[in-house]
């Protein structure tokens, strides 16, 4: 079987293709022959059938989290969920305090939401992660104050794939009476979730990183003890008033089916992806001056984020044009700025190095990994051959001591 | 980012990559840019007895347009006198490579590299003359 599709997709943390099984189910909810009804229509079978499908999907999502289906609120995606969770909880609890704790390596959907709250008069503490990308538990505990109402920590980091210890952080939040929000956009199908065991109060999810469609997500909202939120979207009072707007049956069914499959196939898939990731790493590990970003143990199997020293990022991406990868995160890679996530890890050699995020997934193959290995080796060797900085490194010159003509 | 065919050609087949002896009095070396800015160019020119540039080499750390700009410059300067080379402006480079506005700075850097290499050469020649 030799059927390499160029470019090779190695960017599964940006988004995933919709699984055929999911697409089929979605297609059944669109046309006149299908379940096109409005799930909120109470007076006829079109509405009832659609509602049944929506509730079935809700069960699948809840099952993956170890939650009750009544704790799942449909949204348009993880960004909306993050906004609803953080703003909603911060606003609702404003009489108790106006302090929020989060981490510098969070997704922009969390960081920019916090910035907005700062403009509204809230105070936010942005914690530095440790060098491996993980949050120091003692530092986290120390950051929670009497007036802290919400703490937001992501489960799996989108750039470096590290997995935070939610159980430990959740226990601290519960003890301190702080609402614990988790952005888990990257988790489903990659790492087990149990909101009870982890004491998570709010959890943001989306479908499109787990082989479901774009434009649909969910927010888990704990019922016991009940977490109250101030709604951000007002209207028909859908989703128990948390989020108004007609439910998109096909999107929801797609997310439900995607999560059902993700839950079912996680173990086998993780084993397969671990092997592919090791194969990729083994293939390139003989290159000099490369560094892995983020902890290798507490990490999802499909992610490898590597810094290549003395190679400039844009030209590296250019010579890797046969593979689809990200430099930094997809949301920021157009701006040519070094990744804020890697900077937060305190990488000293950030200046003259470029980092590439390889993320593999359901349709990645050994053949694709082998092709990628050859491509990287050739590209890095070629660019270093072209690089005056590589020459200087080889001559033993410390680049930090050189006086550069800044322009 | 869409690159022009000329940028891609220079990027994929860079001309005159290499190093000349920087201690050779007939060689001028210009290194411009900074790692923090994302590009560093090193341009070297060697003048022959007839006062014309007989060889040029470069190495560049930077984006595709920066690599292409410096590769093109090595081709442009060969066979020219220093006066002719000093007349090369960034516009000549950016036009030839059809650089988009966000990449004009690469051609500016290449012009700076030429100036730096000539300055180095002249200071060597003065040192020799005095």
- The interface residues of chain B toward chain A in range 2-61, judged by CB-CB distance below 8 A, are 3, 11, 14, 17, 19, 31-42, 59-61
Nearest of A175, A216, A224 to residue A195 by alpha carbon? A224
Helix %, strand %, coil % of chain A (to 5):
40, 15, 45
Other beta carbons less than 10 A from residue A174's beta carbon: 16
Residues of chain B contacting A336 with CB distance shorter than 8 Å? 38
Other beta carbons less than 10 A from residue A285's beta carbon: 11
Query: What does the pLDDT look like over B96-107, one tens digit per residue?
Result: 999 999 899 999
| Catalytic residue list contains B63 | no
> Minimal Cα–Cα distance from A351 to chain B, Å?
5
Residues of chain A contacting B36 with CB distance shorter than 8 Å? 351, 404, 406
Nearest of A179, A380, A406 to residue A290 by alpha carbon? A380
Helices (H), B13-100: 64-77, 82-86, 90-97
> Minimal Cα–Cα distance from B47 to chain A, Å?
22
The one-digit pLDDT tens for each residue of chain A (407 residues) are 457 889 999 999 999 999 999 999 999 999 999 999 999 999 999 999 999 999 999 999 999 999 999 999 999 999 999 999 999 999 999 999 999 999 999 999 999 999 999 999 999 999 999 999 999 999 999 999 999 999 999 999 999 999 999 999 999 999 999 999 999 999 999 999 999 999 999 999 999 999 999 999 999 999 999 999 999 999 999 999 999 999 999 999 999 999 999 999 999 999 999 999 999 999 999 999 999 999 999 999 999 999 998 988 888 988 998 999 987 533 333 445 668 898 898 875 556 678 899 999 999 999 999 999 999 999 999 999 999 999 999 999 888 888 887 55
Query: Which candidate in B8, B35, B109 is best for mutational testing of the A interface (most A CBs within 10 A)?
Result: B35
How far, in Å, CA of A69 to CA of A53, rounded? 13
How far, in Å, CA of A380 to CA of A35, rounded? 52
Instruction: Single out the catalytic residue among A29, A114, A206, A331.
Output: A331
How many Cα atoms within 13 Å fall on the side-chain side of residue A402?
19
Q: What is the pLDDT of residue A401?
A: 81
Other beta carbons less than 10 A from residue A366's beta carbon: 12
Find the helix packing angle between B90-97 and B64-77, rounded to 10°: 120
The verdict on a CB contact (< 8 Å) between A351 and B40 is: no
Q: Strand A179-183 to strand A290-292: parallel, antiparallel, or no bridges (unpaired)? A: unpaired
Q: What is the pLDDT of residue B7?
A: 95
The verdict on a CB contact (< 8 Å) between B42 and A406 is: no
| Residue A401, preceding peptide bond in cis (omega within 30° of 0) | no
A312 at B interface, C-beta within 8 A: yes
- The interface residues of chain B toward chain A in range 69-98, judged by CB-CB distance below 8 A, are none
Residues of chain B contacting A388 with CB distance shorter than 8 Å? 31, 40-42, 59-61
Question: What is the pLDDT averaged over residues B53-65?
Answer: 95
Other beta carbons less than 10 A from residue A70's beta carbon: 11
Please tell me whether the interface predicted TM-score (ipTM) of this complex is above 0.90: yes
A350 at B interface, C-beta within 8 A: no
Q: Which residues contact A58 (CB under 8 A, 6 or more apart)?
A: A69, A72, A74, A252, A256
**For residue B48, is pLDDT > 60?**
yes
Closest Cβ opposite residue B67 in set A315, A405, A407: A315
The verdict on a CB contact (< 8 Å) between A404 and B34 is: yes
Closest Cβ opposite residue A404 in set B35, B63, B66: B35
| Catalytic residue list contains B106 | yes
Structure tokens given for A98? 């106006």
Whats the size of chain B, residue-wise?
Answer: 130
- At A264 the three-state DSSP class reads helix
Please give the interface size between A and B, counted as residue pairs whose CB atoms are below 8 Å apart. 75
- At A116 the three-state DSSP class reads helix
| Residue B56, preceding peptide bond in cis (omega within 30° of 0) | no
Other beta carbons less than 10 A from residue A397's beta carbon: 12
Q: How far is CA B128 from CA B24, B52, B122, B125, in A?
A: 12, 19, 10, 5
Q: What is the pLDDT of residue A349?
A: 54
Other beta carbons less than 10 A from residue A114's beta carbon: 23
Nearest of A22, A164, A26, A148 to residue A97 by alpha carbon? A148
Task: For B12, name the nearest residue in chain A, comparing CA atoms only.
Answer: A319
Tracing tokens 């799996």 back to the chain, one arrives at A156
The verdict on a CB contact (< 8 Å) between A387 and B59 is: yes
Distance of CA A172 to the CA centre of its chain: 23
> Using DSSP, how many helices (H) and how many strands (E) does chain A show?
12, 12
Q: What is the pLDDT of residue B81?
A: 95
| Neighbour-count burial of A370, counting CB atoms closer than 10 A to its CB (0-12 exposed, 13-18 middle, 19+ buried) | middle
Q: What is the pLDDT of residue A335?
A: 42
- The kind and range of the H/E element at A392 are helix A388-394
The verdict on a CB contact (< 8 Å) between A315 and B62 is: yes
Closest Cβ opposite residue A386 in set B17, B105, B108: B17
**Beta bridge pairs of residue A103:** A127
A321-357 CB burial, b ≥16 within 10 A, e <16 = eebbbbbbbeebbeeeebbbbbebbebeebbbbbbbb
DSSP string, A315-374: HHHHHTTTEE-BSS-TTTGGGTPPPHHHHHTT-GGGTTEEEEEEE--TT--HHHHHHHHH
């Amino acid at each position: 079987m030799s059927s390499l599709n160029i470019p090779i997709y190695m960017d599964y943390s940006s988004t995933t293709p919709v699984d055929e099984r999911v697409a089929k189910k979605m297609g059944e909810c669109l046309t006149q022959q299908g379940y096109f009804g409005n799930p909120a229509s109470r007076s006829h079978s079109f509405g009832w059938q659609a509602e049944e499908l929506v509730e079935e999907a809700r069960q699948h999502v809840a099952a993956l989290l170890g939650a009750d289906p009544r704790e799942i609120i449909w949204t348009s995606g993880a960004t909306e969920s993050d906004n609803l969770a953080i703003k909603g909880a911060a606003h609702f609890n404003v009489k108790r305090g106006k302090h929020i704790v989060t981490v510098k390596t969070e997704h922009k959907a969390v960081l920019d939401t916090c910035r907005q709250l700062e403009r509204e008069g809230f105070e936010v503490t942005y914690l530095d992660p440790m060098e491996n990308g993980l949050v120091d538990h003692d530092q986290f505990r120390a950051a929670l104050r009497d007036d802290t109402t919400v703490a937001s920590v992501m489960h799996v980091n989108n750039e470096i794939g590290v997995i935070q210890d939610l159980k430990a952080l959740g226990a601290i939040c519960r003890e301190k009476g702080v609402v614990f929000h988790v952005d888990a956009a990257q988790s489903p199908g990659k790492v087990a979730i149990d909101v009870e065991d982890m004491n998570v109060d709010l959890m943001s999810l989306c479908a499109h990183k787990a082989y479901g469609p774009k434009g649909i997500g969910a927010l888990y909202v704990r019922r016991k003890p009940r977490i109250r939120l101030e709604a951000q979207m007002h209207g028909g009072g859908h989703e128990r008033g948390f989020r108004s707007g007609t439910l998109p049956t096909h999107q929801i069914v797609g997310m439900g089916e995607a999560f059902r499959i993700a839950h079912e196939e996680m173990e086998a898939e993780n084993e397969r992806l671990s092997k592919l990731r090791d194969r990729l790493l083994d293939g390139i590990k003989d290159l000099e001056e490369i560094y892995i970003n983020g902890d290798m143990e507490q990490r999802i199997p499909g992610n490898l984020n590597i810094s290549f020293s003395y190679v400039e990022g844009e030209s590296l991406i250019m010579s890797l044009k046969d593979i689809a990868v990200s430099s930094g995160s997809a949301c920021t890679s157009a701006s040519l700025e070094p990744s804020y996530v890697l900077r937060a890890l305190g990488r000293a050699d950030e200046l003259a190095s470029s980092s590439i995020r390889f993320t593999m997934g359901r349709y990645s193959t050994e053949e694709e990994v082998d092709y990628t290995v050859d491509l990287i080796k050739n590209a890095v060797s070629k660019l270093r051959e072209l690089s005056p900085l590589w020459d200087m490194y080889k001559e033993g010159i410390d680049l930090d001591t050189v006086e550069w003509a800044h322009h | 980012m869409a690159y022009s065919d000329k940028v891609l050609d220079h990027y994929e087949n860079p001309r005159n990559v290499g190093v000349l002896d920087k201690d050779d009095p007939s060689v001028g070396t210009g290194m411009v840019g900074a790692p923090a800015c994302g590009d560093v160019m090193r341009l070297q020119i060697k003048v022959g007895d007839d006062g014309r540039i007989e060889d040029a080499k470069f190495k560049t750390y930077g984006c595709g347009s920066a690599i292409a700009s410096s590769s093109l410059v090595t081709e442009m300067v060969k066979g020219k006198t220093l006066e002719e080379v000093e007349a090369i402006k960034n516009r000549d480079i950016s036009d030839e490579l059809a650089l988009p506005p966000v990449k004009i700075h690469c051609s500016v850097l290449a012009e700076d590299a030429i100036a730096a290499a000539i300055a180095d050469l002249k200071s060597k020649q003065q040192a020799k003359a005095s």
